[in-house]
Amino acid sequence: MEENDLKLEDIFGSTHFSDDADGINLIAIIGAGIMGQGLAQTIASSGMNVIVVEKDSEHLKKAKELLIESLDQDIKRWSVTESEKKAILSRINWKKDLESVKKCDIIIEAVTEDFKLKEDIFQKLDKLVKEKTIFVSNTSTLSLTKIAETISRSDKIIGMHFLNPVPKIPLVELVKCLHTSNETVKIAKTFATKIGKTSVEVYEYPGFVTTRAIVPLLNEAMYILLEGVATAEHIDTAMKLGYNFKNGPLEMADMMGLDEVLAWMETLWKTLGEPRYRACPILRKLVRERKLGKKTGEGFYKYDKNGKIIASKI
């Protein structure tokens, strides 16, 4: 699927913009990283068209290739058919400019946990898109209220914290900030249902529910490894068999991206000031070395090109 400069009506058909009963017709995702790719697949799988925006052609190309690889792996697992793959890809349009999202009903920001970057994106979108457009952030730790106060539609911003891998985890946290209207919450819940997610409502607070609960577990597992109590493999095996976890904490951290996990810990440590959120030195070392987990092929484990664990790294 090649990038192009066609008008949205040419891509999706002019009838696409007629009002549905729930008012949710066209979705945009800002950021084509792991979360953005997973969101695009999930939304397209539900039958909706989606625009994915990235900053340059190189990042767009890489994102498309990774999504295709992921879908091919799903085909091998018999969870997706070849025709479903084609249908999913046909509903995703890849773009480099924010202008392409002007007519979207919901825009999901899925960039890195950088407050200034998120704020800048929403301020640009605020001047660009239609008045009724809902702004969604996939942030896991940052303040939506602070972001909302820098735009003119503070009542139309809400957090939807999806977990990775998005297509496989049926949960989303709906995060209501100080200014979020009940109507915005209603639209977000409807959207979550349309894409097959169970939503839980939480109030804005650092880490919400899932991130705040999982970070101390990941951090403690890293300290256990640092102190030489057990190997990474044995720590994960103990937690999987002992507590019926699908993935052990260190494998889980690799899947999430060690740079993202570190960003969560640093935010929680700064905002809550509690020692359980102070990042383990071994995590900082791996991030400094750009060994970020599955996405770079190496973290607490080494991975093959298909994302399968080859061996314990540490």
The CATH code of the domain that includes 237 is: 1.10.1040.10
**Residue 51 sits in the same domain as residue 140:** yes
Cβ(289)–Cβ(258) below 8 Å? no
Q: Of 4-13, 163-172, 258-267, which range is least confident? A: 4-13
The CATH code of the domain that includes 137 is: 3.40.50.720
Q: Could you count the other beta carbons within 10 Å of the beta carbon of residue 92?
A: 21
**Residue 217 sits in the same domain as residue 156:** no
Return d(Cα 44, Cα 228) in angstroms, integer.
45
- Nearest alpha carbon to residue 59 among 122, 110, 22: 110
- Nearest alpha carbon to residue 268 among 115, 141, 139: 141
DSSP type of residue 223: H
3 or 102: which leads in pLDDT: 102
Q: How confident is the model over 142-152, as pLDDT tens digits?
A: 889 999 999 99
Decide if 3 is inside a domain: no
Decide if 82 is inside a domain: yes
- Nearest alpha carbon to residue 66 among 48, 92, 47, 46: 92
**Residue 56 sits in the same domain as residue 141:** yes
Mean pLDDT of 27-45: 96
Per-residue model confidence (pLDDT) at position 7: 40
Domain that holds residue 65: 8-203
**Residue 61 sits in the same domain as residue 135:** yes
**Residue 35 sits in the same domain as residue 52:** yes
Q: Of 157, 180, 203, which residue is a domain's last? A: 203
Summary mean pLDDT of the chain: 90
**Residue 167 sits in the same domain as residue 230:** no
Q: Of 164, 185, 203, which residue is a domain's last? A: 203
Q: How confident is the model over 19-35, as pLDDT tens digits?
A: 444 678 899 999 999 89
Mean pLDDT of 109-116: 91
**Residue 51 sits in the same domain as residue 147:** yes
What 3 state SS string does 72-101 have?
Answer: HHHHHCCCCCHHHHHHHHHCEEEECCHHHH
**Residue 248 sits in the same domain as residue 307:** yes
Decide if 75 is inside a domain: yes
Q: Of 203, 222, 238, which residue is a domain's last? A: 203
Decide if 164 is inside a domain: yes
Q: How confident is the model over 183-239, as pLDDT tens digits?
A: 999 999 999 999 999 999 998 888 899 999 999 999 999 999 999 999 999 999 999
Number of independent structural domains in the chain: 2
DSSP type of residue 251: H
Q: How confident is the model over 249-306, as pLDDT tens digits?
A: 999 999 999 999 999 999 999 999 999 999 999 999 999 999 999 989 999 999 988 7
3-state helix vs strand vs coil in the chain, percent to 5: 50, 15, 35
